[in-house]
Amino acid sequence: MPTRRQEKVARVVKEAVSDAIANHLNDPRIEGFVSVTRVDMAADLRSADVYFSIFGKDETGQNKTFAAIMHAKSRIQSLLAGKLQSKFCPVLRFHRDDKFKKTLETMKLIDQAVSELEKTEDAGPIPDTQCS
């Protein structure tokens, strides 16, 4: 369980990374909507795992966006160092977070199952055919 200090630093890292991507990167490869979903801080506060959800038109666009963010890692790190009042600036490791995408796919499957169930109920009861 993270300490209060870890949570506080993780919150600052999340805000700084989000701000850096939204306002300080001018890479044309970044398209769509990029959201920092969570930040996991190490116990010693020297490293952080940053998770992104990228919403774009297609998978190739999302891959290009993630590659652009990885390319700008040092710029994001330096912007973070300016906002963090700490002895050490955590080393950032970027990861794609596909939980939201999987949740949307699951919800879509549930909706399909419900609509199929409603179609069978609208068709009327299944006739009882007994063999004698």
Q: pLDDT tens, 62-107?
A: 889 999 999 999 999 999 999 988 888 999 999 998 887 788 889 9
The pTM of the full predicted model, rounded to 2 decimals, is: 0.75
* Sheet of 91-96, strand order: 33-41, 47-55, 91-96
Question: Domains plus CATH for the chain?
Answer: 4-119 (3.30.300.20)
Please state, in angstroms and rounded to a whole number, the distance separating the CA atoms of residues 59 and 63: 6
Asked whether the beta carbons of 65 and 29 are under 8 A apart, the reply is yes
Q: pLDDT tens, 10-31?
A: 999 999 999 999 999 888 888 8
Please state, in angstroms and rounded to a whole number, the distance separating the CA atoms of residues 108 and 93: 31
Asked whether the beta carbons of 39 and 10 are under 8 A apart, the reply is yes
